[in-house]
Structures are given as structure tokens and as C-alpha cells.
Amino acid sequence: MRILLDTHIALWAVTGSEKLAAEAAQVILGAEQVFVSVASVWEIAIKRALDKSNMPITSAKALQAFQDAGYLMLVVKAAHAVRVEHLPRIHKDPFDRMLVAQALCEPLTLITRDALVGQYSTAIVQVQ
């Protein structure tokens, strides 16, 4: 399985956080390829710059940790941006909407803990 990690899952995986569900860890370990979106790095940078404390490490450290873990970086393509416009209005967060669009376009299985994101498609796996 080729998977795309949402921002928090990716951060928890590379920081060894106890917030990472065992199910998510198993999916990551068993994946054929693990992707992290450039949009996630951007999200970390923006939220850190705005002093939102839910990002445990800087965007630069996160990028390095993702690369060290062997995760592949998924660039944002024009087709991804276009797909966002056509998503149902289930979730308002623009970063989560981009991850959904990327997963649907590529196709990849998106791994998330967000129940709203999980409503977009059966190709999205919500873990607790």
C-alpha cells in the first residue's frame, strides 16, 4: 500500500510521540511507500510562525526528520489545487482539504486521526 500521512500522524511518527496510535504505526511499517506532503511542511511553518503550539518541531526539523525516516515528499501539483475546489464541504481546514485532494488524485491512502477527513472517501483510513 502507498500511503500519505496527515501532518499530525507524520509528526508523531518521527518524534516518537505516544499520540501515534498503534494501528497507524503498523500501517506505516507495512506500507510499500510512505509520503508526506509539502503542504504538511507548509502547515507546520505557518502554524509555528503564528505561535500555535500544536506543532512540536519546526518545519525545517520536520522536513529533515521526514527525509531521515525515508518518507517521500509529495509536491503540490496544479491538479491537486483544482481537485480541492470540487471536494464536498465536509472539512474547512485548507491543509486537510489539500491532503484529501492529493490522496484522491495520486491515488494514495491517506492516514489520519481526523474523523471529518475520514468522511471523504473509503481511500482514507482514520486511526484512533
Q: Is the pLDDT of residue 52 over 80?
A: no
Structure letter (DSSP) for residue 77: P
Q: What is the pLDDT of residue 96?
A: 96
Q: What SS3 state is found at 39? A: helix
Residue 106, number of CB atoms within 10 A of its CB: 17
Superfamily of domain 2-126: 5'-nuclease (3.40.50.1010)
What mean pLDDT, rounded, does the chain reach? 96
Assign 128 a pLDDT band (cuts: 50, 70, 90).
confident
Nearest CA to 37 out of 20, 15, 56, 59 is that of 59
Assign 13 a pLDDT band (cuts: 50, 70, 90).
very high
Assign 54 a pLDDT band (cuts: 50, 70, 90).
confident
pTM: 0.96
**Which segments of the chain does DSSP mark as H helices, in order?**
7-15, 22-30, 38-49, 59-68, 78-85, 94-105, 115-118
Q: What SS3 state is found at 126? A: strand
Model confidence pLDDT, tens digit, residues 21-49: 999 999 999 999 999 999 999 999 999 99
